[in-house]
Amino acid sequence: RVYAIQGNNSIKAQKSLSHNYLNEIKNRFKQKTIILEGIVGQKSLEYFDGLTADLLKSYENRLVITYLVDDGLIDFDMDILILDKEVILINYEKKIVVKIRNDSIRLAIKALYETMKFSSRKIDLNKYVADLIKKRSASWQYRGEIKYLN
C-alpha cells in the first residue's frame, strides 16, 4: 500500500505532464495490485472535470481509497508519497523529487497523514469518475457527484 497526500497546487502542475506517462504509472499500480490510499482536496477533484472521456476511462476501477479534506489543509505544491521504507516528495512544476530513507521521518510523516484523515471524509473516487464518464456523454458541463462513505 502507498499512502499519498496530494497538494492542491500540485494537481495544476500535473496537467502539464504527458498523459502517456500518467497512464504508465496508473498501469504499474494496477499490474502490481498496489492500493493507493490518498488524501486530496476539492481542487484535486476538479482536475477530473477537464479531462476527456478517454482519459477519464484510464482512471476507472483503480485500487484507490480516497479521503477528502478542506483545501486549506493541503494548499501546497507537492505530492507526498509514503512507502514502506521511504517518503517521496514530488514537485512537478519545479521538477524536483526528494527521497527520504529515514524511518523516523517516515513514521512522523505517516503519523501526520493519519492525523489528517481525522479531518477528512472518505469518498468513492471510482464512483465519482464513473459518474463523470456516464454524464459526460449527456453533457460536457456535468460535474460529478461526491459519494461520501461513513
Instruction: Write out pLDDT tens, residues 99-137.
Output: 999 999 999 999 999 999 999 999 999 898 888 888 776
Task: Decide if 80 contacts 5 (C-beta within 8 A).
Answer: yes
State the Cα–Cα distance between residues 13 and 1, nearest whole angstrom.
25
State the Cα–Cα distance between residues 11 and 40, nearest whole angstrom.
10
Is pTM beyond 0.85 here? no
Q: Which grid coordinates are listed for 9? A: 497546487
State the Cα–Cα distance between residues 17 and 68, nearest whole angstrom.
23
Across all residues in the chain, what is the average pLDDT?
A: 83
At residue 15, the pLDDT reads 61
At residue 5, the pLDDT reads 95
At residue 112, the pLDDT reads 96
Show pLDDT as tens, one digit a residue, over the chain (150 residues): 999 999 988 866 666 665 665 666 666 666 777 888 999 998 888 888 877 777 777 777 788 899 999 999 998 989 999 999 999 999 888 889 999 999 999 999 999 999 999 999 999 998 988 888 887 766 555 455 666 665
Work out whether strand 2-6 and strand 87-91 pair parallel, antiparallel, or are unpaired. unpaired
At residue 149, the pLDDT reads 64
At residue 45, the pLDDT reads 84
